[in-house]
Structure 1
């Protein structure tokens, strides 16, 4: 990824999605200077934030900024945003996770620690253990971006339901075969 900065005119966008919920701590984290600096250092040029029902409004970028930033609340479909992204940062909703993985996009899932009895975090952590994505918390997102090596991620094979079935069985307390 070296050499992606500088005069390279290639658009490398990051799409952030919180789904239909409010996840201000994720929006605030990606809007922080720490995360923005790490994204620029990795060669990303644009940041598009889908902020859902949240009340925190991100800062749009200045004209001279090295990272273009824009945001919106909802869209009838985020599929086009996912397809055009070079990196996706998402809440831990299974729909967003699997849609992104099916598209073969690098993914950082940020777990919402404010949710009680959060089963979504178990799915995200299991898929991270299997090297299909990175898993972070809002307060560790900048470090995850800094440390990520997208070449170490393994493609997710949507045709093989066995890993998901095993995860569901584990979650339900059934013995592993």
Structure 2
């Protein structure tokens, strides 16, 4: 099962769903697709569409997914990466009225450079990303929390 996550941002991200559905119709995607829609209006006879989910539902779909295709929200990316999933992250773009700015491009770049995900900036790159993900082995997630806590502890002890 492929889990597509659009998050809860109030602006639509239909562009991604149109690309996923096209690839499904062309037989490039053959797995079942479950979509967490958020505020995006979309209808499909082929994909299971759920606007909002409880935390436990989201966790279950992340666990069951063989692949996560997500908007470039940090929470969605990190959840997939922490669970050791292959993640394709697609930036919502200001030019397409999908976000207020292009900060998701920066998020895609950062997570791609660290080897955690396959990141793309335009939905037209999705087919290529699906080919790349077949051989992709994501880097194991390393939290910076312990390092930050250590820095704070050191600062407090010195004060």
Q: Shared fold by TM > 0.5?
A: yes
**Root-mean-square deviation (Å):** 2.1
What SS does structure 1 have at the residue aligned with 2:27? Answer: helix
User: How far, CA to CA, are the matches of 1:20 and 1:26 in structure 2?
Assistant: 15
- The question of whether the paired residues in 1 share the 8 Å contact of 2:71 and 2:91 is answered with yes
Conserved? CA contact 2:87–2:118, under 8 Å: yes
**Which runs of 5 or more structure 1 residues have no equivalent in the other structure?**
1-12, 62-68, 163-177
Higher helix proportion: 2
Contact 1:35 1:145 in 2 (8 A): no
Query: Using the alignment, how far apart are the partners of 1:129 and 1:113 within structure 2?
Result: 20
Q: CA deviation at 1:30?
A: 1.1
**Separation (CA, whole Å) in 1 of partners of 2:25 and 2:123:** 10
Residues 83, 103 of structure 1: 8 Å contact kept:
yes
| In structure 2, distance between residues paired with 1:46 and 1:99 | 20
State the distance in 1 between where 2:81 and 2:70 align: 11
Aligned to 1:120, which of 104, 108, 117? 104
Alignment pair present for 1:55 and 2:41: yes
Residues 70 and 161 (structure 1 numbering): CA distance in 2 closer, same or farther, change over 3 Å?
same
How many Å separate the matches in 2 of 1:47 and 1:154? 25
Look up the SS of the partner of 2:28 in the other structure. helix
Please name the residue that 1:9 is paired with: none
Equivalent-residue separation in structure 2 for 1:140 and 1:35 (angstroms): 17
**Normalised TM-score (structure 1):** 0.69
Change (3 A) 1:39 1:33: closer
Between the two proteins, the alignment pairs up a number of residues equal to 138
Q: Which residue of structure 1 lines up, in the alignment, with residue 23 of structure 2? A: 33
Unaligned 5+ runs, structure 2: 148-159
User: C-alpha separation between the residues in 2 aligned to 1:87 and 1:33?
Assistant: 15
Counterpart among 48, 61, 74 of residue 70 in structure 1? 48
**3-state SS in 1 of match to 2:53:** coil
Q: Which runs of 4+ in 1 moved over 3 A?
A: 33-36, 149-152, 159-162
